[in-house]
Chains A and B, each alone.
Chain A
Amino acid sequence: MRTQTLTYRRAIYNALDRLLSEDENIIIMGEDITEYGGAFGVTSDLYRKYPKRIISTPISEGGFTGIAVGAAMTGFRVIVEIMFMDFITLATDQIVNHAANIHYMYGGQLTCPVVIRTPAGGYRGYGVSHSQTLEACFMSVPGLKIVAPASVSDAYGLLLSSVYDNNPVLFIEHKLLYNMEVEFDFDTEPVPLGRARIVREGRDVTLVSHSYGVHLGSTALEELLSEGIDVELIDLRTLKPLDIDTVVESVRKTGRLVYLEEGNVFGGVGGEVVSQVVERCLPYIDGRILRVGKADVPIPASISGEREVLPDIERVKEAVKSSLSWS
């Protein structure tokens, strides 16, 4: 085993490096991804190794995402970097109306392998336009896959699978995770899309999350354990396709479900997961089903305000405790 401590940021860099070296039909497009190294330093010096295939673009998210779609329809696998997830709104026409539909609407004649990498998330005082977690907005778009790695090895392994997938993939990174460092095994294999990971097994409550939420959940879980509550934590890893079977199996065991996400609770990912669980295992439910996430307001810049609006460990613990009973 070749191991080394590695950050989430560097794991993504390594995956990109491996992809670019394996297949010359892979290109990367985005703003400030050459000398600047990307707004979060992910692409770093890749432009030196692959000068033709790291394409620094003007500030035209809609335009270059469309260009990525056109390049993908004509044989490239394109990785697009959208600097902040908030800016994805400018590229939405190309993602929702074009990329996601191409395989279906053209009767299978063409595919559109575009991966849109983008950092989401708040807790940094950046305010409304640089803090959002918008994956839920894309959940109802058929033809699109949505991936949101929480761990270093998943960031690496899921990115490999996403780029070699023949469909458009929204690949959501988290700003607070970039510096997270762990022991990394360089023989890590691609992680298949659509399989959740049980982070920790437990008896009492099933706590499901994705992206940064997994880390909030994991801290809450440790604290709850000292209070005698045994939580099973599941990281969805891929939101679409959704590995609901793993969640259902867990809820059949624990009888309880809490969904935790950083995005809006109203209209969020949790709503979908909870509905599917209720459809499939209502007789097993033994306690309130709860969702924890962002309040239905924009994200304020002030520290205290942001803490109020975004989910925190206390609220996760409260929800887990409430889920133990019906009252």
Chain B
Amino acid sequence: MKREELIQLYSKALLIRLFEEKVDWLFSRGRLWGTTHLCIGQEAVAVGVISCIRRADYVVSTHRGHGHLIAKGADIKLLFAELLGRREGYCMGKGGTQHLCVKDVNFLGTNGITGGGIPIATGAALSIKLRDEDRIAVCFFGDGASNQGAFHESLNMASVWGLPILYVCENNMYGMSTRFSMVSKYEDVAKRACAYGIESTIVDGMDIEKVYSTTEKILSKVRNGSPFLLEAKTYRFCGHSKSDPRLYRTRDEEDEWKRKDPIAQIEKKLLEILPEKELHAIRESLRNTIEESYRYAEEECKELDKDEALRGAYAYTNAYVSQGDIQCPR
């Protein structure tokens, strides 16, 4: 991989890591309200996959979706504003961490319902196919979500209809506390694809370069209308959500996975071709971005006010004009 490309992947992954660490810190200080699901440890999947696709391609995400959104090109300022419940946030502070959508970059939402985004992504792919558009849909979900009916129904329809969609399973081995091997006879989610006539492959989800190059190879198939299931074996370094003592797994297991830290891996590679000083400069600049973005959201953005909280349950619809024609607002 070229130097510049490597630096780009590294910067994206590190930006996600720093963002998540800041969010974690804010929660621990009681400065954020609600809950959050951090993707620390899983950055390689978001960055590896999304760096391969275009702005026009749709992405549908999960409850653990900050990384996907940052990789798709969200503005960290507006992301912080959303998490802080501010009006300037992407969703005016109404959505929060599990209901984040950024239309501009075709990011169709993080999702609070495990598996809920899978049919939605499939529907976006149906749109693409019906309009014969030059883009694809990418659908992230966890190992836990692959036990929802929505997963099976969606893959079946995507296959039968030949939809341009890439399903990406982030298999971090646990759905909350439930080890995947306790709720599935097969430990590989990828195996399920063959039941629906969909091709699949498994990739090391801790290695950004591998995720990137594997995705690149798959994409031409997807762009030609063959759905594909990519399973990335990964690990979340922190708890499931805000408060999780992680009694269901051992510290040994965690240490073993932490040795495969995707960011440490790519840093090591970069150090062979880049002076430490430059790496340091990248880190500092990303840290500044995070701090400055947080400061903006905290100090310059307004709380979601009472009027706005009560507004917007329904979208505006033009009344039809009386000659019998309906004004179809779009």
Contacts and interface: CB of A to CB of B under 8 A. Distances in A.
Interface of A: 22-23, 25, 27, 52-53, 55, 57-58, 60, 62-76, 93-94, 97-98, 101, 103-111, 142-143, 145, 160-161, 164-167, 187, 189-190, 192
Contacts of B315: 103, 108, 111, 166-167
B326 A160 contact: yes
Given A66-B120, A94-B119, A104 B313 contact: yes
B116 A70 contact: no
A168 B99 CA distance: 18
Interface stretch (B7-15, B121-129, B227-235): B121-129
A106 B89 CA distance: 10
Contact of A107 (B91, B316, B322): B91
Given A23-B328, A63-B150, A166-B329, 6 more contacts: A52-B130, A60-B157, A65-B119, A104-B94, A105-B101, A111-B315
B154 A63 contact: yes
A88 B324 CA distance: 32
B150 A66 contact: yes
Contacts, number: 168
Contacts of A65: 119
Interface in B311-328: 312-317, 319-320, 322, 324, 326-328
B160 interface: yes
Contacts of A98: 113, 116, 120
Given A103-B314, A143-B313, A166-B317, A189 B123 contact: no
Interface in B99-123: 99, 101-103, 108-109, 112-113, 116, 118-123
B120 A108 contact: no
Interface string B288-330: 0000000000000000000000001111110110101011111
B95 A107 contact: yes
Contacts of A111: 315
Nearest to B154: A63
B126 A66 contact: no
Which 4 A-B residue pairs are closest in the complex by CB-CB distance?
A70-B123, A66-B119, A63-B153, A107-B91
Nearest to B161: A55
Nearest to B101: A106
Contact of B149 (A63, A73, A109, A167): A63
A58 B155 CA distance: 12
Nearest to A61: B153
Contacts of B322: 189
Contacts of A105: 91, 94-95, 99, 101
Nearest to B99: A105
B90 interface: yes
A109 B91 contact: yes
Contacts of A187: 324
A167 B315 CA distance: 6
B212 interface: no
A200 B162 CA distance: 53
Nearest to A188: B324
B326 A73 contact: no
Given A62-B150, A107-B90, A164-B317, A70 B120 contact: yes
Q: Which of B92, B119, B123, B312 is packed against the most chain A CB atoms within 10 Å?
A: B123
A149 B330 CA distance: 26
B113 A97 contact: yes
A67 B119 contact: yes
Contacts of B328: 22-23, 164
B120 A69 contact: yes
Contacts of A76: 127, 130
B101 A110 contact: yes
21 contacts: A64-B119, A69-B123, A70-B121, A70-B137, A71-B123, A75-B330, A97-B113, A98-B113, A104-B94, A104-B312, A104-B313, A105-B99, A106-B90, A107-B94, A161-B326, A164-B328, A166-B317, A189-B324, A190-B320, A192-B319, A192-B320
Given A107-B91, A167-B315, A73 B157 contact: no
Contact of A167 (B118, B125, B314, B320): B314
Which residue of B103, B160, B315, B329 has the most chain A CB atoms within 10 A of its CB atom? B315
Contacts of A67: 119-120, 122-123, 126, 154, 157
A108 B119 contact: no
B141 interface: no
B308 to A, nearest CB: 9
A104 B327 CA distance: 23
B113 A93 contact: yes
Contacts of B128: 74
A93 B130 contact: no
A257 B20 CA distance: 58
A149 B137 CA distance: 37
A70 B127 contact: yes
Nearest to B89: A107
Contact of A101 (B99, B123, B125, B319): B99
B58 interface: yes
A291 B146 CA distance: 45
A25 B123 CA distance: 14
B217 to A, nearest CB: 26
B147 interface: no
A187 to B, nearest CB: 6
A167 B319 CA distance: 13
Contacts of A108: 92, 312, 315
B214 interface: no
B229 to A, nearest CB: 16
A246 B101 CA distance: 39
A294 B136 CA distance: 48
B80 to A, nearest CB: 15
B149 A70 contact: no
